[in-house]
Amino acid sequence: MSQGSICKFILLMEQITAQKGFKKGFSLIVAVSRNGAIGFEGKLPWPYIPKEMKHFSETTQFIDTDQVGIPDAQNAVIMGRKTWESIPLQNKPLRNRLNVVLTSQVQQFKQIPKRLEIQKSLGEALTALDKNDNVREVFLIGGTQMFAEALTTYINSCKLLILTRINKDFVGDTFMPTYDSNNFQLIHQSKTFAFGDITYDYIYLGNKSLIKQIPTFLYQKYQASPEFQFMQYIKHGSTLSKTLQLDIDLTETFPIFHGVQLNDILPNIQLRFDQRGDTIREPEDYTKLLSHDGKSAKLTDRVLSISYSKAIKLEEIPQIIGSECLLIKMLAKGSKCKSIEKVQFKFESIIEGCENEKCVVENECQPWPIIEMKESKGAFQASDISLINYFP
């Protein structure tokens, strides 16, 4: 058999395997800017974000507790040659993981250290890892060409997309390839984090045909975002419970739910602030001002709990949360009291149904923005409030 015939045969076998799928499957993990950039001049397009790099490291290293007792159990990371070259020398190979580099230029690797394998194609790499009993989870970490192949040729084996959404545009020279979103469904979304003027979150998109094969530990590291919990309640929760509790962290970002505009809630908040803004002198004053109209408030340290005993329409909840949080921010800015770090909303009686189509989102919600407020001795104006990385 000629060399050309052998190559054609290998390619045919890879195509057949791709259609059937690989036993272990794989997850694709990548950080993406708002305009789709994933790299620039061999580096990340955005400044170094320690928490984001920790997320990547911990996610790709984590072994399920059921597998801890297995000797030499580890995960594998597959990458293209350029991605390998972009890793600092002192970090090669990535520790506690089997590193697999795809390249036809094997001769460049004069010495192959432990935890490093060289494969000529993605198909060969996935085949080899399927046979390796020590490998638990497989992660694809870059670059664009491999991602594109994984999301087309090997889509039947791609069980999970783990995306860090950097909620800002950055200049890039490599971009996330497009893919058929109909193959995936949102199964988890983290809260929004902030680093300087950059906001970001983590979303987990599961392959609809492989949902049962996705270990929950891959996407339950982060508490679900309040907006994701709200959307899940709309879809499923209201049939199980009339009560909904959402915890809003105000330390980094501001809760703007889908369909809510800042200008929609500001006039009402302005009136309430004008009437009560000068009465905040002690932390307990928050509870006095917010305990009315069928709701009660309790303050513990910097956590404010607000319970609504009266019936609330489901579609009103996003605007209620935005309004109360904005008022709390305005009150804190206009007083000498320590700011509230978290607000726990508890809706004890919810009227089912959501007539306003704006309160229903079929796909993932956008990361929340950062709020900045100017010092104001008198009434707050719209111009005193700005939202960073806000894309209504």
How far apart are alpha carbons 275 and 327 in whole angstroms? Answer: 12
252 is catalytic: no
How far apart are alpha carbons 81 and 144 in whole angstroms? Answer: 11
The answer to whether residues 372 and 264 touch, using CB atoms and an 8 Å cutoff, is no
124 is catalytic: no
How far apart are alpha carbons 78 and 119 in whole angstroms? Answer: 9
Dihedral over Cα of 191, 196, 199, 204: its sign = negative
Q: Which of 14, 52, 137, 315 is catalytic?
A: 52
How far apart are alpha carbons 227 and 209 in whole angstroms? Answer: 26
Residues 6+ apart with CB under 8 A from 80: 101, 102, 103, 142, 143, 145, 146
Q: Which of 11, 12, 28, 44 is catalytic?
A: 44
State the amino acid at position 233 in one-letter form.
Answer: Y
Phi-psi region of 196 (alpha: psi -120 to 50; beta: other; left: phi over 0): left
Say what the alpha-carbon torsion angle 282, 288, 290, 294 is, to the nearest 10 degrees: 170
Backbone angles phi, psi at 344, to 5 degrees: -100, 110
Neighbours of 131 (CB within 10 A): 9
Residue 123, token pair as written in the block: 């198909």
Phi-psi region of 96 (alpha: psi -120 to 50; beta: other; left: phi over 0): left
Backbone angles phi, psi at 31, to 5 degrees: -100, 135
Residues with active-site annotation: 44, 52
